[in-house]
Structure 1
Amino acid sequence: MTTINPGVDLKARRLPSWAPVAVAVGAAAVAYLLFYSLEAFGGGLILTGVGAVLLFLVGLLALATVVEGSRAARNRIATSLIYAALTLALLPLVSVAATVVTKGLARLDGEFFTHSMNGITAFDEGGGAYHAIIGTLQQVGIATLITVPLGIAGAIYIVEYGRGRLATAIRFFVDVMTGIPSIVAGLFMLAFWVLIVTPVFNDGRAGYSGIAAALALSVLMLPTVTRSCEEMIRLVPAALREGAYALGVPKWKTIMRIVLPTALPGIVTGVMLAVARAAGETAPVLLVAGNSASINMNPFEGNQSSLAIYIYDQAALASKYGPPRAWAAALTLVGLVLTLTIAAKLLARRNKFAR
């Protein structure tokens, strides 16, 4: 029988919780003295930050090796690198969000949401983005109504019914369309809808319209929706399908009542990614919808603006009033996409399969 010596410590030695913080503070202080205060190697904040990270990793590795052993030390270094990569990835996002919020709030007022730029010159202080908000909502809304049913239907065919060369060809073309530049979609819709289809219903005259922009955006959204829905449907466990088939449920009803509700959260995420991309597109909308400073509630006739075009126009103005309006429109666009995403997520969570 094995006996345990009471004098032997069975618990592995661990660094105290404050040790990594102390090493980080010391590394920051040493890096500040070496690279910033004394301006060694050129100085600068970036070099100081890089030096602090390197000194922290070296110090933590040495301290953890002495106290915990080499294996635990390597684990700590790997964990620290993961957190460093996360921080590095979040820095641009946080910087962009902070810049948009701080600069966009300066011009975000009631007039901005209730007035257009009709009659407002580059050197006038007033004006708003009401016409651009209406255009973005109509164009993206119509594109979503067109794209979501087609994308989900295409994904269902590829996963549940498609076999052989046809399914492979559809998947290949979806992948190819995913990388198509937005300007190509705009040129295609300009040549097809504006110059060929519109003259048939407009006494032989070509004309810009919001529906043309919506169709161009749907070309960009369709591959994203199809691809994301395909991956989400593939993740549905086969046991759910087999259980429904064993109970005598038809395949189409299994897809509608079992597969799609189970994959709904992922499908919503893919749709919102496509919506966010479409809402921020400028080139295809400018090509087929033109631009307008006045309010146009009819997407089937006349030039129509969007928030992306509004931002482009206002940012390019040689006036002190243009950039604040551009930042306010950028904040409005971000807030609009964020609101739609949160609403879609909340609706998806109501699904009983997602709980």
Structure 2
Amino acid sequence: MSNAVVQDTRPPASAPRKGSLSRRGLPRWAGAAFGAAGIALGCGIGLVFGLDSKVQWGLISAILFVLISYVATSVVENKRQAKDRVATSLVWVCFILALVPLVSLLWTTIKRGSKALSGDFLSHSMNGVTGFEPGGGVYHALIGTLEQVGIATVISAPLGLLTAVYLVEYGKGALAKAVTFFVDVMTGIPSIVAGLFILTLMLMFELKPSGFMGSLALSILMMPVVVRSTEEMLKLVPNELREASLALGVPKWRTILKVVLPTAIGGITTGVMLAIARIAGETAPIMLLVFGSQLINTNPFDGAQSSLPFYIWEQYRVGSDASYDRGWAAALVLIAFVMILNLVARGIARWKAPKTGR
């Protein structure tokens, strides 16, 4: 009698085939399908009931998207996965809700600002051009913004960086706590308060309005942002890197300069760019300290200057169609200015970041 054992190579009856619905799992494209179904149903409900507002259409679509995701996942999978799907759907809805006003603002600025934006607009000032007639440009305001923001950055970035290094690497006791407290307080100071502070100094020392005075007020607003962002980035640097450098006999100052700062340079640069974006749109300090001007003034230490935010407010105040077009074009230039700064900062951060091997 043979002792050979015949093996059954057939798969178990309960084993589901790959890709079949018997796995009770939704495919990867299910979320997109639920979103499309929610949008279609929301638009249909809006048309049937005659809802004019597109905001209502969007809210109905978002609610239906979450409900469809929960019901379908509960039927096909289970309630635990359905709750997870609902959480994911809510995250997507919040992301889209945050993205819609940003895209709408950008599209409106591009659509309306492109009417007056041209080479002449970027290379001419408002000298000899009245507010009600077309023509003129933004060159004088662009020069003012570049100089004022540049001087504020030169003042605030080193001071903020050194303050953050002190708080993270050296700060202990009551002094560090006091510095942290005042930095937090300065973060919420309104721009008009910073302008009034510099204005008081101008009156005390009998100084004249200039772009430099505006830069001092902008530096007050910029410095706490640089300190807080740099401080958080330095805290993310692993202590093992510091300990390894100190164990090799490297002085602490050199460890900070060669190890800590290069490791956190990407986050530090991003924080500085956020601070620049925060002050680039300030108008109140410029109105108090710089006064604005229709002429080109390349000397920030002598005489009144303009800036892009002040120029936008100035053109809006005129109230003519030509001034509105110039205001929207200046807003588009300001957005492009901040975007270019961010792109340059990201390039510098990637270039200066420490190289990692495999």
Kindly provide the amino acid, as one letter, of the partner of residue 196 in structure 1.
M
Q: 1:35 to 1:292 in 2, by over 3 A?
A: same
2:204 is matched with which residue: 171, 174, 196? 196
1:288 matches 2:303: no
Q: 1:161 to 1:50 in 2, by over 3 A?
A: same
Matched residue, 1:169: 178
**How far apart in 2 are the matches of 1:314 and 1:18?**
49
2:169 is matched with which residue: 142, 154, 160? 160
**How far apart in 1 are the matches of 2:266 and 2:355?**
7
1:103 matches 2:112: yes
Moved more, 95-104 or 239-248: 95-104
Unaligned runs of 5+ in 1: 200-205
Q: How far does the alpha carbon of each residue in 1:321-352 deviate from its partner, in whole angstroms, 9 at most, with x for none?
A: 10110111111111111111111110111124
Matched residue, 1:32: 43
> What do you get for the CA RMSD once the two structures are aligned?
1.9
**How far apart in 2 are the matches of 1:310 and 1:267?**
31
**How far apart in 2 are the matches of 1:88 and 1:53?**
10
**How far apart in 1 are the matches of 2:212 and 2:265?**
28
Within 5 A, what are the aligned runs for 1:178-189?
Answer: 178-189=187-198
Q: How far does the alpha carbon of each residue in 1:243-295 deviate from its partner, in whole angstroms, 9 at most, with x for none?
A: 01000000010011111111111110110011111111000111001110001
The 4+ residue runs of structure 1 with deviation greater than 6 A are: none
Matched residue, 1:323: 324
**How far apart in 2 are the matches of 1:240 and 1:100?**
46
SS at match of 2:318: coil
1:14 matches 2:25: yes
Moved more, 276-285 or 54-63: 54-63
Q: Is the 8 A contact 2:265 2:349 kept in 1?
A: yes
2:98 is matched with which residue: 89, 98, 101? 89
Q: TM-score, normalised by structure 2?
A: 0.91
Q: TM-score, normalised by structure 1?
A: 0.92
Q: CA deviation at 1:28?
A: 3.5
**How far apart in 2 are the matches of 1:265 and 1:22?**
38
Q: Is the 8 A contact 1:132 1:305 kept in 2?
A: yes
Q: Is the 8 A contact 1:36 1:44 kept in 2?
A: no
1:133 is matched with which residue: 138, 142, 145? 142
Q: 1:319 to 1:17 in 2, by over 3 A?
A: same
1:238 matches 2:246: no
Matched residue, 1:75: 84
**How far apart in 2 are the matches of 1:323 and 1:4?**
77
**How far apart in 1 are the matches of 2:341 and 2:57?**
41
1:350 matches 2:356: no
Q: How far does the alpha carbon of each residue in 1:118-174 deviate from its partner, in whole angstroms, 9 at most, with x for none?
A: 111012211001100010000000010001110011011111111100000000000
Q: CA deviation at 1:78?
A: 1.5
**How far apart in 2 are the matches of 1:19 and 1:79?**
12
Unaligned runs of 5+ in 2: 1-8
